[in-house]
């Protein structure tokens, strides 16, 4: 570029920037080669951005909607352009050819924003008609009021909803329509306050629709000001939210029930957001354990409340994702005062609103130690009173069964009948006497862990919630933990721990499979199912022996051991086995068959 030419271009650019009109320089292909500051401000683009565009790129989308009879062209004397933000405006274009030393066929285009002048009365009338059509066709309930609540307009949806004609509504006060005094008083106070302090307010009200039935409607009231800034009218837009409101009320009621169940538990229950470790819910017992209020607990993270290392927490999180649970473990928690308390912790993985949530059950070990100490003392006392070891074990089992009965009166009859059937199956399978004795002892106390389950859940009629069902399921592990510290023979604690497992791994608590199960556990599982289904329950009548036998036959080889099932069916059908109900008053809960449906 020659120095003189360069200086001339700088001078021309400065001159263009001083003009009040927007100026664009375009070539014969309508590509923009230069712009002034006013053009950049009008369109919101930088000079560099405009120089990459053509004149047609500045046209507003759907520009034909804004034109009356002029053909669509980017060089119309008047047309619609839009800025970088997509806001349209009406412009007047004037094009003049330029003479250039270095380049020919350039044109100067002067652009003026004439949007305000273009808004004619006809256009405003058309806008009003569009607004009117939208409002009249809207399913929303739209009404406009003077500051004194005199109704000046109501759309058809509003009239139809309340069963009035527009003639009946216009000119009336809005508070003249509600049938009850309470709603009238609310409207008078509400609109009186809105007139004093104009602002947009949303409120829910119960109204009486044309059907005569009360329904929930949500209204949004907005002030409309005149050109002086004074309140001119109030526009109220309503939408029927009756079904949504009923659903919200039901959710609130369910949350209240859930909270009541949580707070009645004797164990500390904590719901934890697994990815973040943040506490999202706690019950009363958990607050007592940590000595925090519930509000304080909801501000805490798991790592603040335990002595477990960060590495251990990360390892357990990975294990929880893999196995959906963590086994019972003794840990130390940290109270608000910094005191350490030893607790037993059980963790289950839940999915709540597609989020991974850990259900953590905490039990003060001191309570378990008291129970164990009591059971151990009873066992020791029995040992001193008898000379034969066999008699000592039998008496210990009787004491444990009594402990179950003290918590749940249904448990005793169930355990005795399960023991009766299990022993009969053992004889049918020709098991050694020692194994049959062990089977009888395990059956008599297989539900001892229910002493740790809230009594209201054990005897609750009706269907359990998921959380309640998971809490009751913990009785199996509780039985194992209560018995594993006792010096019992024949792996009784392990046998009881497995009596809800199934051959295909679908049982609980550890989803063990066939080769991992004790044979005595397989016998106990079948006996438990048959007795439970054939006995009465608080939430249903007895289903009968035939239904019970059909159930185990269906699960033969997949859920239950084939030999055990065959032996059990043979006892009832060929050998006419019946439960001996002597001194048995009631049956107990069957955790094998109590599901979430009847």
**Tens-digit pLDDT profile for residues 145-188:** 888 889 988 888 888 888 888 888 889 888 777 767 887 888 88
Report the relative pairing of strands 340-352 and 325-334 from DSSP bridges. Answer: antiparallel
With 50 as the cut, is the pLDDT of residue 47 above it?
yes
- Which residue is listed with tokens 């003189």? 4
**By the 8 A CB rule, do 528 and 515 touch?**
no
Q: What value does the mean pLDDT take over residues 253-258?
A: 77
CA–CA dist 422, 420 (Å, integer): 6
Strands (E), 241-306: 268-273, 278-282
CB neighbours of residue 447 within 10 Å: 32
**Predicted pLDDT of residue 430:** 94
Could you tell me the two tokens for 598?
């009847």
Tell me the percentage of the chain whose pLDDT exceeds 70: 84
**Predicted pLDDT of residue 104:** 64
**Predicted pLDDT of residue 382:** 65
Could you tell me the two tokens for 536?
């009465």
Select the more confidently predicted residue: 395 or 197. Answer: 197
Report the relative pairing of strands 355-364 and 201-208 from DSSP bridges. Answer: unpaired
- Residue 283: helix, strand or coil by DSSP? coil
With 80 as the cut, is the pLDDT of residue 487 above it?
no
- Residue 90: helix, strand or coil by DSSP? strand
Q: What is the 3-state secondary structure (H, E, C) of 26-62?
A: ECCCCEEEEECHHHHHHHCCCHHHHCCCEHHHHECCC
Select the more confidently predicted residue: 227 or 572. Answer: 572
- CB under 8 Å to 125, separation ≥6 — which residues? none
CB neighbours of residue 131 within 10 Å: 10
Integer-rounded Cα Rg, in Å, for the chain is 41
Select the more confidently predicted residue: 184 or 445. Answer: 445
- Residue 336: helix, strand or coil by DSSP? coil
Longest dimension (CA), the chain: 127
CA–CA dist 79, 320 (Å, integer): 66
Select the more confidently predicted residue: 110 or 251. Answer: 110
With 50 as the cut, is the pLDDT of residue 582 above it?
no
Instruction: Walk me through the domains of the chain, giving residue ranges and CATH numbers.
Output: 3-119 (3.30.450.20), 134-240 (3.30.450.20), 267-366 (3.30.450.20), 386-573 (1.10.3210.10)
CA–CA dist 326, 344 (Å, integer): 12
What does pLDDT average to over the chain? Answer: 81
Torsion of CA 294, 298, 300, 302, to 10 degrees: 100
Select the more confidently predicted residue: 379 or 253. Answer: 253
**Predicted pLDDT of residue 64:** 46
**Predicted pLDDT of residue 583:** 39
Alpha-carbon distances of 177 from 157, 173, 194, 375, rounded to whole Å: 16, 8, 19, 73
Select the more confidently predicted residue: 202 or 487. Answer: 202
**Residue 253: pLDDT band with limits 50, 70, 90:** confident
Tell me the β-bridge partners of 358: 272, 349
Could you tell me the two tokens for 21?
């009109």
Could you tell me the two tokens for 17?
């920037």
Among 48-57, 101-110, 444-453, the range scoring the smallest mean pLDDT is 101-110
CA–CA dist 50, 84 (Å, integer): 10
Q: What value does the mean pLDDT take over residues 61-87?
A: 65
355 backbone dihedrals φ, ψ, rounded to 5°? -115, 145
Tell me the β-bridge partners of 239: 218
Could you tell me the two tokens for 437?
């004795």
**Residue 72: pLDDT band with limits 50, 70, 90:** very low
Crossing angle between the packed helical segments 433-444 and 409-428, to the nearest 10 degrees: 160
**Tens-digit pLDDT profile for residues 34-44:** 999 999 999 99
Q: What value does the mean pLDDT take over residues 423-445?
A: 92
CA–CA dist 149, 192 (Å, integer): 9
**Predicted pLDDT of residue 595:** 32
Among 14-23, 232-241, 461-470, 536-545, the range scoring the smallest mean pLDDT is 536-545
Nearest 5 degrees, angle CA 374-CA 451-CA 534? 135
Select the more confidently predicted residue: 497 or 62. Answer: 497
Tell me the β-bridge partners of 350: 357
CA–CA dist 154, 165 (Å, integer): 9
With 70 as the cut, is the pLDDT of residue 478 above it?
yes
CA atoms within 13 A on the CB side of 567: 21
CB neighbours of residue 372 within 10 Å: 17
**By the 8 A CB rule, do 50 and 30 touch?**
no
**Tens-digit pLDDT profile for residues 114-148:** 877 766 656 677 777 777 788 888 889 888 888 88
CA–CA dist 158, 143 (Å, integer): 7
**Residue 426: pLDDT band with limits 50, 70, 90:** very high
Give the residue among 383, 406, 481, 399 at the shortest CA–CA distance from 441: 399
- Residue 98: helix, strand or coil by DSSP? strand
Select the more confidently predicted residue: 257 or 471. Answer: 471
Q: What value does the mean pLDDT take over residues 278-284?
A: 88
Give the residue among 79, 24, 66, 73 at the shortest CA–CA distance from 49: 24
Q: What is the 3-state secondary structure (H, E, C) of 426-479?
A: HHHCCCCHHHHHHHHHHHHCCCHHHHHCCHHHHCCCCCCCHHHHHHHHCHHHHH
**Predicted pLDDT of residue 590:** 31
**Tens-digit pLDDT profile for residues 209-252:** 777 788 888 999 888 888 788 888 888 898 988 888 888 888 88
**Tens-digit pLDDT profile for residues 345-385:** 889 998 887 888 888 888 887 766 777 778 788 877 766 65
Could you tell me the two tokens for 476?
């199996």
Q: What's the length of the chain?
A: 598
């Amino acid at each position: 570029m020659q120095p003189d030419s360069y200086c001339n271009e700088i001078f021309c650019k400065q001159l263009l920037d001083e003009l009040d009109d927007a100026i664009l320089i375009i070539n014969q292909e309508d590509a923009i080669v230069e712009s002034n500051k006013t053009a950049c401000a009008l369109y919101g683009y930088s000079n560099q951005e405009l120089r990459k565009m053509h004149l047609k790129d500045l046209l507003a989308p759907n520009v034909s909607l804004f034109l009356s009879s002029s053909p669509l062209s980017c060089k119309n004397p008047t047309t619609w352009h839009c800025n970088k933000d997509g806001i349209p405006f009406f412009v007047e274009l004037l094009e003049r050819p330029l003479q250039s030393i270095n380049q020919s066929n350039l044109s100067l285009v002067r652009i003026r924003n004439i949007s305000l002048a273009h808004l004619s009365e006809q256009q405003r009338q058309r806008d009003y008609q569009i607004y009117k059509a939208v409002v009249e066709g809207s399913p929303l309930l739209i009404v406009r009021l003077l500051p004194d609540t005199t109704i000046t307009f109501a759309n058809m949806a509003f009239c139809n909803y309340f069963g009035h004609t527009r003639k009946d509504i216009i000119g009336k006060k809005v508070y003249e329509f509600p049938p009850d005094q309470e709603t009238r008083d609310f409207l008078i106070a509400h609109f009186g306050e809105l007139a004093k302090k104009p602002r947009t307010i949303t409120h829910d009200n119960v109204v009486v629709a044309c059907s005569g039935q009360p329904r929930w409607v949500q209204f949004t009231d907005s002030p409309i000001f005149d050109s002086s800034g004074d309140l001119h009218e109030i526009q109220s837009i309503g939408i029927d939210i009756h079904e949504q409101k009923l659903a919200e009320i039901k959710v609130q009621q369910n949350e209240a029930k859930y909270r009541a169940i949580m707070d009645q538990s004797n164990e500390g229950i904590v719901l934890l957001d697994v990815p973040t470790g943040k506490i999202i819910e706690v019950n009363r017992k958990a607050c007592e354990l940590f000595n925090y209020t519930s509000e304080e607990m909801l501000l805490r993270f798991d790592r603040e409340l335990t002595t477990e290392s960060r590495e251990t927490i990360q390892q357990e999180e990975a294990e929880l994702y893999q196995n959906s649970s963590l086994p019972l473990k003794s840990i130390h928690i940290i109270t608000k005062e910094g005191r350490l308390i030893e607790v037993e912790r059980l963790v289950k993985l839940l999915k709540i609103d597609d989020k991974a949530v850990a259900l953590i059950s905490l039990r003060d070990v001191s309570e378990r130690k008291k129970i164990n100490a009591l059971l151990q003392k009873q066992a020791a006392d029995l040992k001193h009173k008898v000379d034969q070891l066999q008699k000592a074990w039998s008496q210990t089992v009787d004491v444990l069964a009594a402990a179950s009965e003290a918590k749940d009166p249904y448990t005793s009859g169930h355990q005795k009948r399960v023991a009766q059937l299990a022993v009969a199956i053992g004889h049918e399978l020709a098991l050694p006497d020692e194994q049959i004795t062990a089977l009888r002892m395990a059956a008599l106390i297989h539900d001892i862990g229910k002493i740790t389950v809230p009594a209201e859940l054990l005897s609750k009629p009706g269907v359990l919630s998921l959380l309640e069902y998971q809490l009751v399921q913990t009785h199996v592990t509780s039985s194992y933990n209560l018995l594993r510290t006792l010096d019992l023979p024949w792996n009784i604690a392990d046998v009881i721990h497995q009596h809800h497992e199934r051959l295909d791994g679908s049982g609980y608590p550890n989803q063990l499979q066939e080769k991992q199960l004790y044979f005595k556990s397989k016998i106990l599982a079948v006996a438990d199912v048959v007795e439970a289904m054939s006995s009465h329950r608080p939430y249903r009548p007895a289903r009968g022996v035939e239904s019970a036998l059909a159930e185990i036959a269906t699960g033969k080889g997949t859920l239950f051991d084939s030999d055990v099932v065959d032996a059990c069916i043979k006892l009832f059908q060929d050998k006419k086995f019946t439960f001996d109900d002597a001194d048995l008053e009631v049956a107990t809960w069957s955790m094998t068959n109590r599901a979430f449906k009847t």
